Amino acid sequence: MIQYGKQFIDQTDIDAVVDVLKSDWLTQGPKVPAFEDAVASYCKAEHGVAVNSATSALHIACLALDVGSNDIVWTSPISFVASANCALYCGAKIDFVDIDLNTGNMSVFELEKKLLLAEQNNCLPKVVIPVHLAGQSCDMQAIHKLALKYDFKIVEDASHAIGAKYLDKPVGCCEFSDICVFSFHPVKIITSAEGGMAVTNNQELAKRLRKLRSHGITSDPTEMTEPSHGPWYYQQVELGFNYRMTDLHAALGISQLSKVDEFVNQRHFLAQIYDTHLDLNLIRPLHQSDTCYSAYHLYIVQLKDSDITRHKNAITQLRAAGIIGHLHYIPIHLQPYYQAMGFSVGDFPNAEKYYQGAITLPLHPTLQEQEVHFVLNTLQQILN
């Protein structure tokens, strides 16, 4: 079976984890801050806060920005459900901004249109969560301009995008956002098994994120309501969670991060083979903007002139041939849970159109060139 995505683990990764097992610290030790510093430094952000998943990072990012039950959060309907669920965890209202069909990313045109309307109806979002689909950054400069005009905060869901660049700077530098979130799930660019990180340039936000990741507890005397009772003392000053990353996971993350550029290069190399051999009469890849350097988490194509049957058939037949074609994503607003909240078919027509034609083809650093050609040939046969 050719998987659509898969981790690459070498002996260095294994040794790094085993070393931690032999050390005094399995969790809350030195590897976690070392991983935080490594990621922050790699993407040129000031602070990194490691957690047990990107989902947790999105949750505490919303909380750190004071998202609560009277607030509204917007994200893209073409994403994993976690991008929207984080708002619901905070008791906030979620809504979506339709996508640009060329890139699959949140459409700035649709965003501006929706903001204008929301301003009239007094229901502007507190936070917008752009998702860098497949590893290509959204148009962050434009979204940031709108954030200044309409006074909302930005959390980048960069779960797909460590190693990517936007306007020649690393995704995660937070030039155009308040917080940026990465995922280290095994199908993503680098892995810590489970794990995620929030990066930010704002020290107060970083402090708040750290507190929220660990029960809302502080050992910082300046944050306490009374003098310390002694060296054992700590205070819980708000309601937080146990979202901590372990040192085992962090050690794997550090080791993986040293290979991130290699991984992304290899993904580009393989994507290029797809690009040059695809039959553009039948299928087109997502448009790559020249302001972006994608991390190529996913290689997504759109079937031309497709209908539901032809599309479903293509993915089913790929699987019958041993190729795990996939579909990223089912529009979130079409999930039963979201339909029960009042969303319905027709709400985000571009996202729904995208869903009827999108196929994710296999792409990961261990994929062989001849496997890419096998995928291309099989797809060609299926579509003809």
Ligand X SMILES: *Cc1c(COP(=O)(O)O)cnc(C)c1O
Give burial (CB, 10 Å; 0-12/13-18/19+) of 333: buried
Among 80, 176, 274, 296, the residue binding ligand X under the rule CB under 6 A is 80
What are the residues whose beta carbons fall under 8 Å from the beta carbon of 374, sequence distance 6 or more?
A: 2, 323
Per-residue exposure over 173-195, b if at least 16 CB sit within 10 Å of its own CB, e if not: bbbbbbbbbbbbbbbbbbbbbbb
Task: Pick the closest to residue 273 from 363, 189, 343 (CA basis).
Answer: 363
Among 55, 218, 350, 378, the residue binding ligand X under the rule CB under 6 A is 55
Stretch that binds ligand X, among 8-16, 51-59, 225-233, 312-320 (CB under 6 A): 51-59
Instruction: Check residue 131 for interaction with ligand X (CB under 6 A).
Output: yes
CA distances from 230 to 214, 221, 226, 233, 235 (A): 21, 11, 12, 6, 12
Instruction: Check residue 61 for interaction with ligand X (CB under 6 A).
Output: no
Residue type, 238: E
Instruction: Check residue 326 for interaction with ligand X (CB under 6 A).
Output: no
CA 83 – CA 103 distance, rounded (Å): 18
Among 78, 82, 212, 300, the residue binding ligand X under the rule CB under 6 A is 82
Using CB under 6 A as the binding rule, the residues of this chain from 183 to 212 that contact ligand X are 183, 185, 196
CA 295 – CA 190 distance, rounded (Å): 11
Nearer to ligand X, 159 or 201 (CB): 159
Stretch that binds ligand X, among 33-41, 49-57, 250-258, 266-274 (CB under 6 A): 49-57
Among 13, 95, 98, 157, the residue binding ligand X under the rule CB under 6 A is 157
The total number of residues shown for the chain amounts to 384
Instruction: Check residue 155 for interaction with ligand X (CB under 6 A).
Output: no
SS3 225: coil
The bridge status of strand 217-218 relative to strand 196-200 is unpaired
Instruction: Check residue 83 for interaction with ligand X (CB under 6 A).
Output: yes
Instruction: Check residue 75 for interaction with ligand X (CB under 6 A).
Output: no
Nearer to ligand X, 255 or 360 (CB): 360
Instruction: Check residue 255 for interaction with ligand X (CB under 6 A).
Output: no
Where do contacts with ligand X occur on this chain (CB under 6 A)? 53-55, 79-80, 82-83, 131, 157, 159-160, 183, 185, 196
